[in-house]
Amino acid sequence: MEIQRLGNLKTALGECPVWHGARLWLMDCRQGLILALDPDTGLVTARHEAPPPLGSFAFNGDGLDGIVLALKEEIAALNLRTGQLRTLARIEASSPHLRLNDGISLADGSFVVGTMHVFRAPDEPPLGGLYRLDTRLHLHKLDEGLGIVNGPCVNPIDGRLHVADSAARVIYSYAIASDGTLADKQVFVRTEGLDSGPDGCAFDTEGGLWTALVRTGALARFDMEGRLTHRIELPVAHPSALCFGGSEMADLFVTSISDSGRLSASGPLDGAVLKATGLGFRGFARPVCRMPL
């Protein structure tokens, strides 16, 4: 296995890497940037702006023109060709310390996204929760009581949705019903023993879940029973998210943080994008949204 820096990009809050159109896409959430990188050289091949703070995004349709985008408290559509931004839905909760965070497109074309509610009093329940925007542009609340939603992803073996609550240091697992609602919530794994909350997540084709241990500078892989199978130390203090990509979906790309507003680090690679090769695992491309935009 080899881990190297991809290009010279330095992000404040690198997040949400997505493999699409033979390129690596990611966000700098604090800067309001959506970027595409050449997966071999790391050169920035596309740069788009949106109002920060950004939470996550997913491509809409099979092309490169449009994305579904999580802004502070609303889900929007951004036309990457024209720059036009249009609100699709808004969550019911609002607070200076609440914003939409990580999200993913599902196989049915919908978009699932969760919130983060920080700087809460010890006995203050978190606002927001986990939401699903369906392909008719109807917004549904799927769960609540989650402090910092990260890493939603679907196990390719059993079809269960996995969602991390970084604040609680736990990854939950849900069954997805045919109407898009969730049931049978279970604790998949707790990461307290690894001294970090789980951040971004991705599954490999064997059903192994990979997560960024954002506070300990490492990646962890868990098998389908929630047992730790791999821990990989990284040359960054705060890895944030990851995705598989490359021509054979065998490379793992990792974003990182130099200054998120809550976490900061000043090492030579903090804020960089990393590329890990030779892992011996493969991933799969994410589905795209199918919104009528």
Show pLDDT as tens, one digit a residue, over the chain (293 residues): 999 999 999 999 999 999 999 999 999 999 999 999 999 999 999 999 999 999 999 999 988 899 999 999 999 999 999 999 999 999 999 999 999 999 999 999 999 999 999 999 989 999 999 999 999 999 999 999 999 999 999 999 999 999 999 999 999 999 999 999 999 999 999 999 999 999 999 999 999 999 999 999 999 999 999 999 999 999 999 999 999 999 999 999 999 999 999 999 999 999 999 999 999 999 999 999 999 98
Q: Rounded to whole angstroms, what are the CA distances from 59 to 70, 72, 95?
A: 12, 19, 28
Is the domain spanning 2-277 CATH 2.120.10.30? The answer is yes
Residue 63 has what pLDDT? 86
The three-state (H, E, C) secondary structure of 189-216, written as one string: EECHHHCCCEEEEEECCCCCEEEEECCC
Q: In this structure, are residues 233 and 196 in contact, taking their beta carbons and an 8 Å threshold?
A: no
Active site residues: 199
Q: pLDDT tens digit string along 165-222?
A: 999 999 999 999 999 999 999 999 999 999 999 999 999 999 999 999 999 999 999 9
In 3-state terms the chain splits into helix, strand, coil percentages (rounded to 5) of: 0, 50, 50
Q: What is the pLDDT of residue 213?
A: 98
Task: Give how far the C-alpha of residue 130 lies from the chain's centroid of Cα atoms, to the nearest Å.
Answer: 13
Question: What residue type is 158 in one-letter code?
Answer: D
Cα–Cα distance for residue pair 61/288, rounded to 1 Å: 6
pLDDT of residue 293: 82
Residue 194 phi, psi (nearest 5): -100, 5
Six token digits for residue 74: 């609303």
CA-based end-to-end distance of the chain: 42
Q: Give the length of the chain.
A: 293
The amino acid present at 251, given as its one-letter code, is D
Q: What is the pTM of this model?
A: 0.97
The residues spanned by each domain of the chain are 2-277
- What pLDDT, on the 0 to 100 scale, is given for residue 253? 98
